[in-house]
Amino acid sequence: MQIAVLGAGSMGHGIAQVSAMAGHDVVLRDIEEEFVEDGLEGIRANLRGGVDRDKISADEMEATLERIEGTTDLTGAVADADLVVEAVPEDMDLKQEVFADVEEATGEDTIIASNTSSLSVTEMASALEHPERAVGLHFFNPPHIMDLVEIVVAEQTDDRTEEFAVDYVRGIEKEDVVVRDTAGFATSRLGLALGLEAIRMVEQGVASPADIDEGMEIGYGHPMGPLELTDHVGLDVRLHIAEHLREELGERFKPPQSLRRKVRAGNLGKKTGEGYYVWEDGERVGMSGEWGGDE
Ligand SMILES: NC(=O)c1ccc[n+]([C@@H]2O[C@H](COP(=O)([O-])OP(=O)(O)OC[C@H]3O[C@@H](n4cnc5c(N)ncnc54)[C@H](O)[C@@H]3O)[C@@H](O)[C@H]2O)c1
Protein backbone atom coordinates (compact mmCIF):
# COMPACT_ATOMS: atom_id res chain seq x y z
CA MET A 1 0.00 0.00 0.00
CA GLN A 2 1.11 3.60 -0.60
CA ILE A 3 0.95 5.79 2.52
CA ALA A 4 1.61 9.50 3.00
CA VAL A 5 2.41 10.82 6.47
CA LEU A 6 2.09 14.58 6.91
CA GLY A 7 4.27 16.10 9.61
CA ALA A 8 7.66 14.54 10.39
CA GLY A 9 7.70 15.53 14.10
CA SER A 10 7.56 13.33 17.22
CA MET A 11 4.63 11.27 15.97
CA GLY A 12 4.85 11.54 12.18
CA HIS A 13 8.28 9.99 11.82
CA GLY A 14 7.30 7.08 14.06
CA ILE A 15 4.10 6.44 12.10
CA ALA A 16 6.11 6.47 8.86
CA GLN A 17 8.58 4.02 10.39
CA VAL A 18 6.04 1.45 11.61
CA SER A 19 4.19 1.63 8.28
CA ALA A 20 7.39 1.01 6.29
CA MET A 21 8.45 -1.80 8.63
CA ALA A 22 5.18 -3.56 7.73
CA GLY A 23 6.09 -3.36 4.03
CA HIS A 24 4.19 -0.24 2.95
CA ASP A 25 5.73 2.41 0.71
CA VAL A 26 5.76 5.68 2.62
CA VAL A 27 6.22 9.32 1.75
CA LEU A 28 6.97 11.54 4.77
CA ARG A 29 6.09 15.17 4.20
CA ASP A 30 6.88 18.28 6.23
CA ILE A 31 6.88 21.97 5.38
CA GLU A 32 10.67 22.51 5.55
CA GLU A 33 13.48 20.35 4.21
CA GLU A 34 15.16 20.56 7.62
CA PHE A 35 12.13 19.04 9.42
CA VAL A 36 11.92 16.25 6.86
CA GLU A 37 15.61 15.48 7.42
CA ASP A 38 15.14 15.51 11.24
CA GLY A 39 12.26 13.05 10.87
CA LEU A 40 14.29 10.72 8.64
CA GLU A 41 17.20 10.92 11.08
CA GLY A 42 14.82 10.01 13.91
CA ILE A 43 13.75 6.90 11.96
CA ARG A 44 17.38 5.92 11.28
CA ALA A 45 18.20 6.32 14.99
CA ASN A 46 15.19 4.20 16.07
CA LEU A 47 16.11 1.48 13.58
CA ARG A 48 19.78 1.51 14.60
CA GLY A 49 18.61 1.07 18.20
CA GLY A 50 16.48 -1.88 17.03
CA VAL A 51 19.49 -3.49 15.35
CA ASP A 52 21.66 -2.93 18.45
CA ARG A 53 19.07 -4.63 20.63
CA ASP A 54 18.63 -7.50 18.13
CA LYS A 55 14.99 -6.57 17.51
CA ILE A 56 15.55 -6.27 13.75
CA SER A 57 18.34 -7.27 11.37
CA ALA A 58 20.58 -4.84 9.48
CA ASP A 59 18.89 -6.03 6.25
CA GLU A 60 15.44 -5.21 7.65
CA MET A 61 16.71 -1.77 8.61
CA GLU A 62 17.96 -1.12 5.06
CA ALA A 63 14.79 -2.47 3.46
CA THR A 64 12.65 -0.25 5.73
CA LEU A 65 14.68 2.85 4.91
CA GLU A 66 14.40 2.13 1.18
CA ARG A 67 10.62 2.19 1.45
CA ILE A 68 10.59 5.72 2.95
CA GLU A 69 10.94 8.87 0.93
CA GLY A 70 11.02 12.39 2.38
CA THR A 71 9.57 15.46 0.68
CA THR A 72 8.15 18.94 1.15
CA ASP A 73 5.82 18.56 -1.84
CA LEU A 74 2.26 17.89 -0.65
CA THR A 75 0.77 17.02 -4.04
CA GLY A 76 3.56 14.58 -4.85
CA ALA A 77 3.21 12.97 -1.43
CA VAL A 78 -0.52 12.30 -1.52
CA ALA A 79 -1.36 11.96 -5.25
CA ASP A 80 -1.07 8.14 -5.33
CA ALA A 81 -1.68 7.43 -1.66
CA ASP A 82 -4.21 4.83 -0.47
CA LEU A 83 -3.95 6.28 3.03
CA VAL A 84 -2.91 9.72 4.25
CA VAL A 85 -2.19 10.16 7.98
CA GLU A 86 -1.79 13.70 9.21
CA ALA A 87 0.41 14.34 12.27
CA VAL A 88 0.68 18.14 12.08
CA PRO A 89 0.33 20.28 15.25
CA GLU A 90 -2.84 20.01 17.34
CA ASP A 91 -4.81 22.93 15.87
CA MET A 92 -8.28 22.54 14.37
CA ASP A 93 -7.92 25.26 11.71
CA LEU A 94 -4.60 23.82 10.54
CA LYS A 95 -5.95 20.26 10.48
CA GLN A 96 -9.04 21.28 8.50
CA GLU A 97 -6.83 23.14 6.02
CA VAL A 98 -4.58 20.09 5.66
CA PHE A 99 -7.60 17.77 5.17
CA ALA A 100 -9.04 20.04 2.45
CA ASP A 101 -5.66 20.39 0.69
CA VAL A 102 -5.17 16.62 0.74
CA GLU A 103 -8.61 16.01 -0.73
CA GLU A 104 -7.86 18.35 -3.60
CA ALA A 105 -4.60 16.60 -4.43
CA THR A 106 -5.57 12.94 -4.02
CA GLY A 107 -7.89 10.32 -5.50
CA GLU A 108 -11.53 9.81 -4.51
CA ASP A 109 -10.88 6.54 -2.69
CA THR A 110 -8.01 7.71 -0.50
CA ILE A 111 -8.63 7.33 3.23
CA ILE A 112 -7.73 10.49 5.15
CA ALA A 113 -6.76 9.95 8.78
CA SER A 114 -5.80 12.18 11.69
CA ASN A 115 -3.48 11.34 14.56
CA THR A 116 -5.13 13.94 16.80
CA SER A 117 -5.03 13.12 20.50
CA SER A 118 -7.93 15.34 21.54
CA LEU A 119 -9.65 17.22 18.70
CA SER A 120 -12.94 16.23 17.10
CA VAL A 121 -12.39 14.13 13.98
CA THR A 122 -16.02 14.86 13.05
CA GLU A 123 -15.24 18.59 12.94
CA MET A 124 -12.09 17.95 10.92
CA ALA A 125 -14.00 15.76 8.47
CA SER A 126 -16.52 18.53 7.88
CA ALA A 127 -13.80 20.29 5.82
CA LEU A 128 -14.01 17.46 3.25
CA GLU A 129 -16.33 17.04 0.27
CA HIS A 130 -16.31 13.30 1.02
CA PRO A 131 -16.14 13.17 4.83
CA GLU A 132 -17.07 9.46 4.93
CA ARG A 133 -13.41 8.69 4.19
CA ALA A 134 -12.14 10.42 7.36
CA VAL A 135 -11.11 8.53 10.49
CA GLY A 136 -8.90 9.04 13.55
CA LEU A 137 -5.78 6.89 13.99
CA HIS A 138 -4.57 7.82 17.47
CA PHE A 139 -1.07 6.38 17.83
CA PHE A 140 0.71 6.49 21.17
CA ASN A 141 4.12 7.98 21.77
CA PRO A 142 6.54 6.65 20.63
CA PRO A 143 4.73 4.80 17.83
CA HIS A 144 7.52 2.26 17.24
CA ILE A 145 7.31 1.10 20.87
CA MET A 146 3.67 1.53 21.87
CA ASP A 147 1.32 -1.21 20.68
CA LEU A 148 -2.01 0.58 20.82
CA VAL A 149 -3.82 2.58 18.15
CA GLU A 150 -7.22 4.04 18.99
CA ILE A 151 -9.39 4.08 15.87
CA VAL A 152 -11.70 7.08 16.18
CA VAL A 153 -14.93 6.76 14.23
CA ALA A 154 -16.34 10.17 13.32
CA GLU A 155 -20.05 10.81 12.74
CA GLN A 156 -19.41 10.71 8.98
CA THR A 157 -17.00 7.73 8.85
CA ASP A 158 -18.48 4.93 6.72
CA ASP A 159 -18.04 1.17 7.19
CA ARG A 160 -15.48 0.88 4.39
CA THR A 161 -13.26 3.47 6.07
CA GLU A 162 -13.58 1.86 9.51
CA GLU A 163 -12.74 -1.59 8.09
CA PHE A 164 -9.80 -0.11 6.20
CA ALA A 165 -8.49 1.45 9.42
CA VAL A 166 -8.82 -1.80 11.36
CA ASP A 167 -7.01 -3.76 8.59
CA TYR A 168 -4.22 -1.18 8.43
CA VAL A 169 -3.66 -1.17 12.21
CA ARG A 170 -3.61 -4.97 12.41
CA GLY A 171 -1.35 -5.09 9.36
CA ILE A 172 1.30 -2.99 11.07
CA GLU A 173 1.06 -5.37 14.04
CA LYS A 174 -0.54 -2.94 16.45
CA GLU A 175 -3.56 -3.53 18.67
CA ASP A 176 -6.71 -1.61 17.78
CA VAL A 177 -9.56 -0.33 19.89
CA VAL A 178 -12.48 1.30 18.10
CA VAL A 179 -14.06 4.32 19.81
CA ARG A 180 -16.70 6.87 18.88
CA ASP A 181 -15.51 10.41 18.34
CA THR A 182 -16.15 11.87 21.80
CA ALA A 183 -13.99 14.14 23.95
CA GLY A 184 -10.88 12.37 25.20
CA PHE A 185 -11.79 9.24 23.19
CA ALA A 186 -11.45 6.22 25.52
CA THR A 187 -7.89 6.33 26.79
CA SER A 188 -7.32 10.02 27.53
CA ARG A 189 -10.68 10.25 29.31
CA LEU A 190 -10.13 7.30 31.60
CA GLY A 191 -6.42 7.96 32.13
CA LEU A 192 -7.13 11.54 33.09
CA ALA A 193 -10.01 10.61 35.43
CA LEU A 194 -7.56 8.45 37.37
CA GLY A 195 -4.85 11.11 37.32
CA LEU A 196 -7.14 13.90 38.59
CA GLU A 197 -8.57 11.75 41.39
CA ALA A 198 -5.03 10.79 42.47
CA ILE A 199 -4.10 14.49 42.63
CA ARG A 200 -7.20 15.26 44.72
CA MET A 201 -6.25 12.40 47.08
CA VAL A 202 -2.77 13.93 47.53
CA GLU A 203 -4.39 17.31 48.26
CA GLN A 204 -6.68 15.71 50.87
CA GLY A 205 -3.73 13.97 52.54
CA VAL A 206 -5.10 10.48 51.87
CA ALA A 207 -1.60 9.17 51.13
CA SER A 208 1.70 10.32 49.68
CA PRO A 209 2.20 10.38 45.88
CA ALA A 210 4.60 7.43 46.12
CA ASP A 211 2.13 5.36 48.18
CA ILE A 212 -0.79 6.13 45.85
CA ASP A 213 1.32 5.17 42.83
CA GLU A 214 2.61 2.02 44.47
CA GLY A 215 -0.96 1.06 45.35
CA MET A 216 -1.94 1.14 41.69
CA GLU A 217 1.27 -0.47 40.47
CA ILE A 218 1.31 -3.39 42.89
CA GLY A 219 -2.39 -3.63 43.69
CA TYR A 220 -3.76 -3.16 40.17
CA GLY A 221 -0.80 -4.12 37.98
CA HIS A 222 -0.45 -0.69 36.34
CA PRO A 223 3.06 -0.29 34.90
CA MET A 224 3.21 3.25 36.30
CA GLY A 225 1.09 5.02 38.94
CA PRO A 226 -1.18 7.96 37.97
CA LEU A 227 1.00 10.65 39.61
CA GLU A 228 4.28 9.53 38.10
CA LEU A 229 2.47 9.26 34.76
CA THR A 230 1.26 12.86 35.20
CA ASP A 231 4.89 13.93 35.69
CA HIS A 232 5.90 12.04 32.54
CA VAL A 233 3.11 13.44 30.35
CA GLY A 234 3.62 16.99 31.65
CA LEU A 235 1.36 18.82 34.12
CA ASP A 236 0.65 21.52 31.51
CA VAL A 237 -0.51 18.93 29.00
CA ARG A 238 -2.76 17.24 31.58
CA LEU A 239 -4.21 20.60 32.70
CA HIS A 240 -4.98 21.52 29.09
CA ILE A 241 -6.79 18.22 28.45
CA ALA A 242 -8.66 18.50 31.78
CA GLU A 243 -9.94 21.95 30.82
CA HIS A 244 -11.10 20.62 27.46
CA LEU A 245 -12.86 17.60 29.02
CA ARG A 246 -14.47 19.78 31.69
CA GLU A 247 -15.96 21.92 28.95
CA GLU A 248 -17.19 18.90 27.01
CA LEU A 249 -18.09 16.41 29.75
CA GLY A 250 -18.69 18.38 32.95
CA GLU A 251 -17.37 19.26 36.38
CA ARG A 252 -15.91 15.86 37.17
CA PHE A 253 -12.93 16.90 35.05
CA LYS A 254 -12.44 20.19 36.95
CA PRO A 255 -8.65 20.58 37.35
CA PRO A 256 -7.53 20.30 41.02
CA GLN A 257 -5.98 23.43 42.59
CA SER A 258 -2.50 21.96 43.04
CA LEU A 259 -2.34 21.10 39.32
CA ARG A 260 -3.06 24.74 38.43
CA ARG A 261 -0.65 26.05 41.06
CA LYS A 262 2.20 23.85 39.91
CA VAL A 263 1.68 24.75 36.26
CA ARG A 264 1.62 28.46 37.15
CA ALA A 265 4.90 28.01 39.04
CA GLY A 266 6.47 26.28 36.03
CA ASN A 267 6.64 22.89 37.76
CA LEU A 268 5.53 20.81 34.79
CA GLY A 269 6.89 17.39 35.78
CA LYS A 270 9.88 15.44 34.57
CA LYS A 271 10.75 17.94 31.82
CA THR A 272 11.27 20.80 34.30
CA GLY A 273 12.65 18.72 37.20
CA GLU A 274 9.56 18.92 39.44
CA GLY A 275 5.89 18.00 39.37
CA TYR A 276 4.43 15.65 41.98
CA TYR A 277 7.96 14.25 42.24
CA VAL A 278 11.44 15.78 42.02
CA TRP A 279 13.56 14.65 39.04
CA GLU A 280 17.28 14.78 38.44
CA ASP A 281 18.82 13.74 35.12
CA GLY A 282 15.57 12.01 34.19
CA GLU A 283 15.49 9.98 37.44
CA ARG A 284 12.86 10.26 40.18
CA VAL A 285 14.74 11.31 43.34
CA GLY A 286 12.02 12.35 45.79
CA MET A 287 8.55 13.80 46.27
CA SER A 288 7.56 17.41 45.85
CA GLY A 289 6.21 19.95 48.37
CA GLU A 290 4.95 18.89 51.78
CA TRP A 291 5.79 15.27 50.96
CA GLY A 292 9.33 16.46 50.19
CA GLY A 293 12.42 14.48 50.90
CA ASP A 294 12.89 10.78 50.63
CA GLU A 295 10.12 8.47 49.55
N1 LIG B 1 3.48 13.92 21.06
C2 LIG B 1 2.62 13.03 21.56
O3 LIG B 1 2.85 12.42 22.62
C4 LIG B 1 1.36 12.69 20.80
C5 LIG B 1 0.71 11.47 21.06
C6 LIG B 1 -0.42 11.14 20.31
C7 LIG B 1 -0.90 12.02 19.35
N8 LIG B 1 -0.27 13.22 19.14
C9 LIG B 1 -0.81 14.12 18.11
O10 LIG B 1 0.03 14.03 16.94
C11 LIG B 1 0.00 15.27 16.25
C12 LIG B 1 1.42 15.74 16.05
O13 LIG B 1 2.06 15.89 17.29
P14 LIG B 1 3.63 15.87 17.45
O15 LIG B 1 3.90 15.74 18.90
O16 LIG B 1 4.23 14.90 16.49
O17 LIG B 1 3.99 17.35 16.97
P18 LIG B 1 5.39 17.93 16.49
O19 LIG B 1 5.32 19.39 16.74
O20 LIG B 1 6.53 17.12 17.03
O21 LIG B 1 5.37 17.68 14.89
C22 LIG B 1 4.49 18.33 14.03
C23 LIG B 1 5.18 18.49 12.69
O24 LIG B 1 4.24 18.94 11.72
C25 LIG B 1 4.89 19.84 10.86
N26 LIG B 1 3.88 20.61 10.13
C27 LIG B 1 3.27 21.76 10.46
N28 LIG B 1 2.39 22.11 9.50
C29 LIG B 1 2.44 21.14 8.54
C30 LIG B 1 1.77 20.92 7.31
N31 LIG B 1 0.85 21.77 6.88
N32 LIG B 1 2.09 19.82 6.60
C33 LIG B 1 3.02 18.94 7.04
N34 LIG B 1 3.68 19.09 8.20
C35 LIG B 1 3.39 20.18 8.95
C36 LIG B 1 5.78 20.63 11.76
O37 LIG B 1 6.80 21.29 11.03
C38 LIG B 1 6.31 19.54 12.70
O39 LIG B 1 7.50 18.95 12.19
C40 LIG B 1 -0.88 16.21 17.09
O41 LIG B 1 -2.18 16.19 16.59
C42 LIG B 1 -0.82 15.59 18.46
O43 LIG B 1 -1.93 15.89 19.25
C44 LIG B 1 0.87 13.57 19.82
Question: How do residues 75-94 score in pLDDT, each as one tens digit?
Answer: 999 999 999 999 999 899 99
Residues 62 and 150 in one domain: yes
Q: What confidence category does residue 294 fall into, taking pLDDT thresholds of 50, 70 and 90?
A: low
- Residue ranges for the known binding site for NAD(+) are 7-12, 30, 90, 95, 117, 141, 271
Rounded mean pLDDT of 183-212?
96
Last residue of a domain, one of 151, 180, 209: 180
Based on DSSP, count helices (H) and strands (E) in the chain, helices before strands. Answer: 12, 10
Query: Which string of DSSP letters, residue by residue, matches 134-185?
Result: EEEEEE-SSTTT--EEEEEE-TT--HHHHHHHHHHHHHTT-EEEEEES-TTT
Q: Is position 272 within any domain?
A: yes
Residues 60 and 151 in one domain: yes
State the chain's mean pLDDT as an integer: 96
Rounded mean pLDDT of 263-283?
96
Last residue of a domain, one of 129, 164, 180: 180
The answer, yes or no, to whether any atom of ligand 1 lies below 6 A from the CB of 29, is: yes
Instruction: Kindly report the CATH number assigned to the domain that includes residue 200.
Output: 1.10.1040.10
Rounded mean pLDDT of 159-186?
97
What atom in ligand 1 is closest to the CA of residue 114?
41
The pLDDT, as a whole number, for residue 292 is 74
Q: Is position 295 within any domain?
A: no
Instruction: Kindly report the CATH number assigned to the domain that includes residue 75.
Output: 3.40.50.720
Q: Is position 33 within any domain?
A: yes
Last residue of a domain, one of 180, 211, 228: 180
Residues 32 and 82 in one domain: yes
pLDDT at residue 56 is higher than 80: yes
pLDDT at residue 34 is higher than 90: yes
Classify 254 in phi/psi space as left (phi over 0), alpha (psi -120 to 50) or beta. Answer: beta
Rounded mean pLDDT of 246-258?
96
Helices 209-220 and 226-233, axial angle in degrees (round to 10): 110
The H or E element that residue 42 is part of is helix 33-52
The pLDDT, as a whole number, for residue 141 is 87
Q: Which of 75, 88, 115, 187 to mutate to test the pocket of ligand 1 (most atoms within 8 A of CB)?
A: 88
- Whole-number Å distance, alpha carbon 73 to ligand 1 midpoint, is 17
The pLDDT, as a whole number, for residue 264 is 98
The pLDDT, as a whole number, for residue 290 is 75
- Into how many domains does the chain fold? 2
Angle at 42 between CA 90 and CA 11, to 5 degrees: 20
The answer, yes or no, to whether any atom of ligand 1 lies below 6 A from the CB of 10, is: yes
Residues 9 and 145 in one domain: yes
pLDDT at residue 289 is higher than 90: no
- Whole-number Å distance, alpha carbon 104 to ligand 1 midpoint, is 21
Question: How do residues 92-149 score in pLDDT, each as one tens digit?
Answer: 999 999 999 999 999 999 999 999 988 999 999 999 999 999 999 999 989 999 999 9
Residues 128 and 104 in one domain: yes
Longest CA–CA separation in the chain, Å: 61
Select from 28, 36, 14 the least CA-distant residue to 67.
28
Q: Which domain holds residue 33?
A: 2-180
For the entire predicted model, the pTM comes to 0.90
The answer, yes or no, to whether any atom of ligand 1 lies below 6 A from the CB of 117, is: yes
pLDDT at residue 216 is higher than 80: yes
Q: Is position 294 within any domain?
A: no
pLDDT at residue 273 is higher than 70: yes
The pLDDT, as a whole number, for residue 32 is 98
pLDDT at residue 293 is higher than 90: no
